[in-house]
């Protein structure tokens, strides 16, 4: 179908965009349009005003900022895919970004747009979750920051108020030599994941796990950090038996049911994929130490 009628706005700065949102009732922010445009075409969304951030050049960047990598909200997924800085400091994200839609949608889709859409199986939301990213939000009263677990308030419901705009996502890279793993099961390449899993691991000199992060997408209303598994791994030597024990809790989820996939299938996938990405992360961490 075609989008319902709306008025289109193209502010040139964040301040202009905030004013535009304040001045208009029932306004939606348009980022790359790879989720909102389908919702308009399918008549799921009926905004009276669309505020397109596409002309705000200073919202598109990837840079080192202190100990963090700061990514502007309007940075195209394509830019992340081809970023040397991301490949070097956030290798897990460099791998996962290849599963975000397709070349043709990554050329236009943005990191900020994906996080605000907050599909429970979206890879970028999973990345923000496993890295424990910080989301920077601009509003009429100034900037505020939310940790990803606060930002992901509920099913496709980010904790942004009317009139606010996500401007930046901040990732803390893990130490050089850390390991990572990412995998997902989807019906076709580029489709939304049925279940996606991502892990980060740092090893001690003697091979014990210094710290681990494990996150799952597609098994809950929002991407999930599996703290029980992370704690079970800390300080231990990873072998198959330990990984199996630590990830058993991943089956203890209550996935949403959709037209294609029953909850039991997601419950069955979750621990297996979790074990796989942790094993990959441990292997990579061991290889860089060797």
Partner 1 sequence: MNPRTRAITVKVNGVAHTRDVEHRMTLADFLRHELGLTGTHVGCEHGVCGACTVLVDGLSMRGCLTLAVQADGREVSTVESLAADGALNALQQAFHARHGLQCGFCTPGILMTLTEFLRDHPRPTEAEVREVLSGHLCRCTGYQNLVAAALDAAAVIRGEANA
Enumerate binding residues for partner 1 (CB under 8 A). Answer: 1-8, 10, 33-34, 37-38, 40-42, 50, 52, 54, 78, 101-105, 107-108, 188-190
- H helix or E strand, kind and range, residue 128: helix 123-130
Q: Which residues lie closer than 8 Å to 14 by C-beta, 6 or more apart?
A: 56, 58, 59, 138, 165, 167
Report d(CA 197, CA 127) in Å as an integer: 10
Taking the complex as a whole, the smallest distance from the CB of residue 37 to partner 1 amounts, in Å, to 4
* Nearest CB to partner 1, comparing residues 89 and 106: 106
Distance CA 102, CA 81 (A): 11
Nearer to partner 1, 176 or 188 (CB): 188
Q: How far is the CB of 41 from partner 1 (least distance, A)?
A: 5
Residue 47 beta carbon to partner 1: minimum distance, rounded to whole angstroms: 10
Q: Which is nearer to partner 1, 40 or 285 (CB)?
A: 40
Angle, CA 187 vertex, CA 183 and CA 189 arms, to 5°: 65
CB 124, min distance to partner 1, A? 17
Distance, in Å, from the CA atom of 112 to the CA atom of 129, rounded to the nearest integer, reads: 14
Please measure the distance between the N-terminal and C-terminal CA atoms of the chain and give it in whole angstroms. Answer: 56
What residues have CB less than 8 Å from 231, skipping those under 6 apart?
Answer: none
Q: Which is nearer to partner 1, 3 or 263 (CB)?
A: 3
User: In the complex with partner 1, which residue's Cβ is closer, 26 or 41?
Assistant: 41
How far apart are the C-alpha atoms of 100 and 117, rounded to whole Å? 13
Shortest gap between Cβ of 101 and partner 1 (angstroms)? Answer: 8
């Amino acid at each position: 179908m075609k989008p319902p009628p709306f008025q289109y706005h193209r502010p040139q700065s964040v301040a202009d965009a905030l004013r535009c949102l304040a001045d208009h009732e029932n306004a939606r922010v348009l980022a790359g349009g790879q989720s909102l445009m389908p919702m308009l075409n399918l008549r799921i969304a009926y905004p009276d005003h669309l505020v397109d951030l596409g002309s705000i050049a200073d919202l598109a960047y990837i840079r080192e900022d202190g100990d963090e990598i700061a990514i502007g909200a309007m940075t195209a997924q394509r830019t992340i895919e081809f970023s040397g800085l991301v490949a070097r400091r956030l290798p897990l994200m460099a791998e996962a970004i290849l599963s975000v839609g397709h070349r043709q949608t990554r050329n236009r889709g943005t990191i900020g747009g994906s996080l605000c859409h907050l599909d429970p199986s979206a890879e970028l939301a999973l990345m923000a979750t496993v890295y424990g990213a910080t989301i920077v939000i601009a509003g009429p009263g100034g900037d505020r920051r939310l940790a990803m677990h606060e930002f992901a308030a509920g099913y496709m419901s980010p904790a942004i108020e009317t009139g606010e705009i996500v401007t930046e996502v901040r990732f803390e890279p893990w130490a050089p030599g850390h390991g990572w793993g990412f995998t997902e099961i989807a019906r076709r390449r580029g489709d939304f994941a049925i279940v996606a899993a991502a892990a980060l691991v740092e090893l001690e000199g003697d091979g014990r796990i210094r710290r681990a992060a494990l996150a799952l997408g597609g098994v809950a209303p929002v991407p999930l950090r599996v703290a029980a598994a992370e704690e079970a791994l800390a300080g231990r030597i990873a072998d198959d038996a330990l990984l199996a024990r630590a990830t058993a809790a991943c089956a203890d989820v209550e996935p949403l049911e959709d037209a294609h996939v029953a909850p039991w299938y997601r419950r069955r996938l979750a621990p297996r994929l979790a074990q796989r990405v942790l094993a990959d992360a441990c292997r990579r961490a061991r290889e860089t130490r060797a």
